[in-house]
A and B are shown apart, each in its own frame.
Chain A
Amino acid sequence: MSRNDGDGEEDSPKPDDKSTASISSAAHEETTQVNALNGGLEPGNFLHIDHKPRLLLMGLKRSGKSSISNVVFRKMAPHETLFLETTTTIRKEAMHSFMDFQVWDLPGQIDYLDPEFDAESIFGGVGAMIWVLDAIDNYMEPVSRLTETILHLQHSYPDIKYSVFIHKVDSLTEDFRDDTMRDVRQRITDDLYDAGLENPPITYYGTSIYDHSIFEAFSKVMQGLVPQLPTFEALLNTVSASCKFEKAYLFDVYSKVYIASDTTPIDMKAYELCADLIDIIVDMSEVYGWDRGKDQQETDPSKAVASQSAESFVSNIKGYHLYLKEINRSAL
């Protein structure tokens, strides 16, 4: 059990008549802190607006790429992905956190390895590639397509980090899930080894859009793209120590991806709790955040300013508390 701190961080600022005008002073202070950190890093890191790191979602068709992208970045309910149609063009999702980056959903039927294909336009500037592999389908083909792709890209783009999402594991029993994951990993490692690539930069995750695993996995992938991760972790460690928090997370509220956490061991259940609290806050902010027109303006403006950044507290979960503080402005 632990004390948790979900720190809020939010997606694209939606133009919003009143709240844009007056961001609370507290929020400013904390944002400045973060910015100051950026300044301390060596120049040329890809945080600059003109250089958004790119994250590719690849895999065979029907493996679940569009579902993942819609569930994580567009808040689609998992069961609604049943109605998704096959993607035929590259779909780009922009994520604006304090780090801007893009997620590209690449349709499965295009042969990206064809020499005719303008590889640079897709793979140039890519930070990470997620290969989505349908765990309930035959995985021989996707495994060989993945290894081909890695071997092909390895020379021109050696810095790409690979993650394999062994996806739809909700449909497998626990034993079978572990076996499948082990087997997939073994095959990929063997294939690459035979082709002369030892210790490839690949991380494996079992994922499903029907539970928190997809958000957890995405968080880990994202963290690999945050160059200041150690600095954030150190900062969160300090916060945790001085406030006696048992665990502190820095969240992107809209996607429920956590960008960093303090360095005490991660408890998946604590993460789920924070993610569910964020769901409550986002949902309630939608239904009770409606524009009340002049009625609301009548309230003392000094009072309104006090809560320009959202804050939430859950008290006494068996003696522990959960606290969320929004750091920079958001749609909350």
Chain B
Amino acid sequence: MSLVSGPGRGGVAAGLPQELSLYMDKHVSYIQSLDRRKDEREYWLTEHLRLSGLYWGLTALHLLGHPDALPRSQVIEFVLSCLHENGGFGAAPGHDSHMLYTVSGVQILATLDAFDELEARVQGGRLKIGQLVDIAGLQDAETGTFAGDEWGERDTRFLYGAFNALSLLGLLHLINVDKAVGHIQSCANFDGGYGTSPGAESHSGQVFTCLAALTIAGRLDLVDQDKLGAWLSERQLKNGGLNGRPEKKEDVCYSWWVFSSLAMLNKQHWIDGDKLANFILQCQDPQMGGFSDRPGDMVDVFHTCFGLAGLSLLKFPGLIEVDAVYCMPRAVTKRCLSK
């Protein structure tokens, strides 16, 4: 999946009509076209994100109701080619394994209902992914948090990643959930938000990761929900978009992180949903498909995924229901989590 931005721009081509609609077919063909852009330099410069790119593209297609728009067997083949001996996934074949891509790999296999194919190819594959370095081995025994790789960079994103992937695999018991929950609590700030580590500035992306992990752990009772809800709802700007921190610009991806966090707290109605939908729709390229971060910028697959996920959570007609915690189709998480 190419992470090359463009070719289109959100919202400017020929001007969007007054009454905004969702250009579903354009988005499907936009995502399909991404794999045909290998002649572009940026395609290769973004190779270190490839597996996540595939997750974003595939999720967008599923939410659009076109799950078969990418050939299933080829996708599985590629994902498995990124799997290492140690049970972790790299971003692309030949790249070191890393937590972020391990999560993407698991999410893709879950979405395609392909854990059986994984087992057929790698005996005990599920357990291997869960047990070995890339997830369970990366938990810090002292603080309960997680590193992204053997290099040791720590961030609540990795903690969420571990919770996400392990719960989908049905292996959450492999880690010390209580300790990890304690670490999340230590990242809570005086303003009600959460940062990457204790004391780090509150940031919508980190709020999402912390809340989603607490939701998976069933520990939302530890959150000062009114205070955090207030902080989250303050992220909406006059143009309807949401930002990541006070005094920063609105952005489609932050719109997802903030709005999904509000959804986990059951406070979606605290912001103006119509205005938010309108903002996201303005970020589409109506001719060539795709979403940008804000109107006027180049489209890319990352913002296309989160734009559609946001609209789905806003119950926009025609889209498949998304799971606010996993950013995957709700039907998929239901299937995985009920096992």
Q: Do the two chains bind?
A: no
